[in-house]
């Protein structure tokens, strides 16, 4: 595709377009992909649609200060993002080993961005441009906007504003807040005075005068008290709803500064969502990357449709509550059909729409009518521990959308791959969606996320009880049999989540044994910023109740829990053996149908000793047996011939 379909990435591009000086320069940890699945593209195109000029510096060389000057100094400011993922998650596995591939870099090459990318890029800018406004955005800044636990350094870190030298954060999805910030800067308002935009975080030397604001504990206090941090985190968690949230203030006493978080932006309307996805995206990666083999991440989204945002599932290990919120926002059928029709014209389109969904595919409306005017409940979840009586489980709109997409010319199949909430599906009294899902939208196997089978662990995860999943599995199998289909369920499972003991991990292994299934991949719990589960991992407390929670932190124990899920893998024999011995479960080793392992030849750890029979009262102790020669004589005695 011609480079004129993209935003400028070089001075040659600026000259060709007659741009003397850009309004904004966007620096990103990802390669430049002009597709609405990438935050850089959405924010840049939104600003362009409001009359601002934007250029992209993708993955600058952070060791070279001149790399951020490639497009000159912008008139209004630098926009900085670590990329579509937190840079530390992008770089490291849960065992803190360096990953081999980066799907957001040319050819999948690893090492094209620094650790803590948003901080490094901002500091790099500040070395050259002392006063130019810096606006942080993206998932990395959004989830690190206040004091937070950082798994990779294993310590509390300050708000990213404090370490980056940036002026303001646009958190969450940011379409509204970035335009308000840009218009304020264009009108001449100094960036330090932009304290009135919802969905932003700023720093100030003066205590905010708002009498309704919530004062969080000072950072130096949560840094030394895990209990205080758990309480502070949960206050933040309860202030993520755009209708009820208040301003949060976190003091940094050593710096004589306050970090202030304004309430979130209100949800986008359907018309606003449609407008975002109708912008003139090139819908692929920049042609400069062609020689390197392109950008792998585009393959997953090129023929997929984003139909919604937000998630009221509120899993403890998910940060969506802090980033997109709990209120569902949807695109219209017309918008989605138009995008799908555009896809069918692509020469690479083979007739398959890979996904129609979002964070949760089958959420196409708010959980209840109240949410659009009063917000989500503070102290109550929509689905956990069981569906709220006020929740309206209704798939009729989603069914209608999928039917329209299936009917499009050139479309052979429409898959649902972004995940469904099976508890929400079962709560719908109308089974139409379930039936059509099985009949039309499964590509041989359906991926679902029960995560665990132990109800104690599921409670910590904020997931439904195992009986709900079993009910779903039963009905899924019945529908497949009824329709003469041979489609499988692939359960996503997680090991070592807070609350999970070795006994819980063994219970999960026994479930897999009975299922006759061993997953190829296992997700060990990954403590990412701004989740309830990460707070539990760090503090050992459930912030919702302040009660202690068992946490497997020892890498060896975590390895045992992970190995138990793949107990059939010969490489895991020693870890599984050790786990079973430690848990006192020798009964699971042997040749019986309920055994997980068969002891290897020569492994004496599982040899069962036969206990001696008890003596009767008054009985004489039997003499020790004496060995004799073949002819009956005792050794050492000469028999006379």
Asked whether the predicted pLDDT for residue 619 surpasses 70, the reply is: no
Asked whether the predicted pLDDT for residue 620 surpasses 70, the reply is: no
Instruction: Write out the DSSP string of 333-366.
Output: HHHHHHHHHHHHTSTT--SEE-EEESSSTT--S-
Burial of 139 (0-12, 13-18, 19+ CB in 10 A): buried
If we measure between CA atoms, which residue out of 424, 157, 428, 393 comes closest to residue 314? 424
Measured CA angle at 330 (ends 324, 331), to 5 deg: 125
Where exactly are the structural domains of the chain?
3-203, 270-492+500-513
Asked whether the predicted pLDDT for residue 563 surpasses 80, the reply is: yes
In angstroms and rounded to an integer, the radius of gyration of the C-alpha atoms of the chain is 29
Beta bridge partners of 250: 259
* pTM for this entry: 0.91
Confidence label for 2 from pLDDT (cuts 50, 70 and 90): confident
Which pLDDT tens digit goes with each residue over 163-206?
Answer: 999 999 999 999 999 999 999 999 999 999 999 999 999 999 99
Contacts of residue 303, Cβ cutoff 8 Å, sequence gap at least 6: 343, 346, 349, 352, 353, 354
Residue 535 main-chain phi, psi, to 5 deg = -60, -45
CA pair distance 333, 331, nearest whole angstrom: 7
| pLDDT number for residue 378 | 86
| pLDDT number for residue 602 | 81
Asked whether the predicted pLDDT for residue 1 surpasses 80, the reply is: no
| pLDDT number for residue 232 | 98
Residue 170 main-chain phi, psi, to 5 deg = -100, 105
The DSSP secondary-structure symbol of 625 reads P
Best-predicted range by mean pLDDT among 114-123, 206-215, 623-632?
114-123
For residues 223 and 621, the model is more confident at 223
Supply 479's token pair: 């529908």
Supply 283's token pair: 């819908």
Range with the lowest mean pLDDT among 54-68, 114-128, 618-632?
618-632
If we measure between CA atoms, which residue out of 380, 472, 490, 479 comes closest to residue 421? 472
Range with the lowest mean pLDDT among 104-113, 124-133, 374-383, 536-545?
374-383
| pLDDT number for residue 637 | 45
State the average pLDDT for the chain. 93
Contact predicate 74/23, CB 8 Å: yes
CA pair distance 410, 350, nearest whole angstrom: 8
Confidence label for 418 from pLDDT (cuts 50, 70 and 90): confident
Beta bridge partners of 460: none
Range with the lowest mean pLDDT among 32-46, 86-100, 371-385, 389-403?
371-385
CA pair distance 295, 615, nearest whole angstrom: 78
| pLDDT number for residue 622 | 55
What value does the mean pLDDT take over residues 527-535? 97
Angle between helices 432-440 and 396-406 (to 10 degrees): 30
Is 8 strand, coil or helix? coil
Asked whether the predicted pLDDT for residue 218 surpasses 70, the reply is: yes
SS (H, E, C) 450-469: EECCCHHHHHHHCCCCHHHH
Confidence label for 629 from pLDDT (cuts 50, 70 and 90): very low
What value does the mean pLDDT take over residues 632-641? 44
Residue 465 main-chain phi, psi, to 5 deg = -65, 155
Supply 42's token pair: 């959405």
């Amino acid at each position: 595709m011609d480079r004129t379909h993209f935003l400028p990435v070089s001075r040659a591009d600026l000259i060709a377009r007659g741009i003397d000086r850009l309004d904004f320069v966007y620096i990103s940890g990802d390669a430049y992909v002009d597709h609405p699945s990438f935050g850089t593209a959405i924010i840049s195109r939104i600003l362009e649609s409001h009359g601002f000029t934007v250029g992209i510096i993708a993955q600058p060389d952070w060791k070279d200060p001149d790399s951020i000057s490639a497009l000159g100094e912008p008139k209004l400011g630098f926009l900085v993002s670590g990329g579509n993922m937190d840079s530390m998650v992008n770089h490291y596995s849960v065992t803190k080993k360096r990953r081999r591939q980066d799907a957001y870099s040319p050819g999948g090459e690893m090492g094209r961005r620094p650790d803590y990318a948003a901080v490094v890029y901002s500091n790099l800018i500040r070395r050259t441009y002392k006063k130019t406004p810096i606006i942080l955005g993206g998932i990395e800044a959004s989830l690190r906007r206040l004091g937070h636990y950082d798994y990779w350094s294993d310590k509390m870190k300050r708000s990213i504003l404090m370490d980056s030298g940036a002026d303001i954060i646009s958190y969450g999805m940011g379409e509204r807040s970035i335009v308000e910030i840009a218009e304020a800067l264009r009108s001449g308002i100094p960036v330090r005075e932009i304290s009135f935009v919802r969905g932003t975080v700023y720093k100030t030397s003066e205590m905010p005068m708002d009498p309704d604001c919530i004062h969080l504990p000072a950072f130096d206090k949560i840094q030394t008290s895990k209990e205080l941090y758990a309480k502070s985190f949960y206050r933040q968690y309860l202030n993520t709803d755009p209708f009820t949230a208040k301003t949060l203030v976190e003091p940094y006493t050593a710096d004589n500064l306050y970090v202030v978080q304004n309430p979130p932006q209100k949800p986008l309307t359907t018309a606003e969502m449609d407008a975002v996805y109708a912008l003139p995206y090139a819908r692929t990666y920049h042609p400069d990357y062609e020689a390197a083999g392109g950008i792998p991440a585009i393959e997953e989204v090129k023929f997929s449709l984003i139909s919604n945002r937000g998630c009221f599932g509120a899993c403890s290990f998910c940060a969506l509550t802090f980033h997109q919120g709990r209120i569902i926002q949807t695109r219209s059928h017309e918008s989605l059909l138009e995008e799908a029709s555009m896809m069918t014209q692509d020469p690479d389109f083979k007739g398959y729409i890979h996904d129609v969904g979002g964070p949760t595919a089958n959420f196409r409306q708010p959980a209840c009518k109240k949410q659009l005017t009063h917000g989500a409940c503070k102290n109550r979840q929509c689905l956990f521990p069981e569906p709220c009586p006020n929740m309206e489980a209704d798939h009729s709109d989603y069914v209608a959308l999928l039917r329209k997409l299936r009917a499009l010319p050139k479309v052979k199949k429409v898959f649902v791959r972004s995940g469904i909430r099976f508890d929400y599906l079962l709560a719908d009294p109308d089974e139409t969606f379930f039936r059509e899902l099985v009949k039309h939208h499964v590509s041989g196997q359906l991926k679902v996320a029960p995560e665990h089978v132990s109800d104690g662990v599921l409670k910590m995860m904020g997931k439904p009880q195992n009986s709900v999943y079993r009910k779903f599995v039963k009905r899924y199998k019945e529908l497949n049999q009824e329709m003469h289909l041979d489609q499988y369920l692939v359960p996503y499972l997680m090991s070592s989540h807070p609350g999970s003991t070795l006994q819980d991990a063994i219970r999960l292994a026994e479930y897999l044994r009975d299922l006759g299934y061993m997953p190829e991949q296992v997700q060990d719990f990954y403590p990412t910023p701004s989740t309830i589960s990460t707070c539990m991992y760090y503090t050992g407390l459930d912030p919702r109740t302040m009660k202690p929670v068992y946490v497997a932190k020892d890498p060896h124990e975590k390895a045992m829990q992970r190995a138990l899920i793949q107990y059939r893998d010969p490489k895991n024999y020693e870890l599984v053996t050790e786990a079973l011995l430690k848990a006192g479960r020798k009964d699971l080793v042997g040749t019986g149908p309920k055994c997980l392992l068969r002891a290897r030849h020569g492994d004496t750890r599982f040899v069962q000793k036969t206990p001696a029979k008890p003596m009767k009262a008054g009985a004489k102790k039997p003499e020790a047996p004496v060995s004799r020669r073949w002819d009956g004589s005792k050794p050492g005695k000469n028999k006379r011939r």
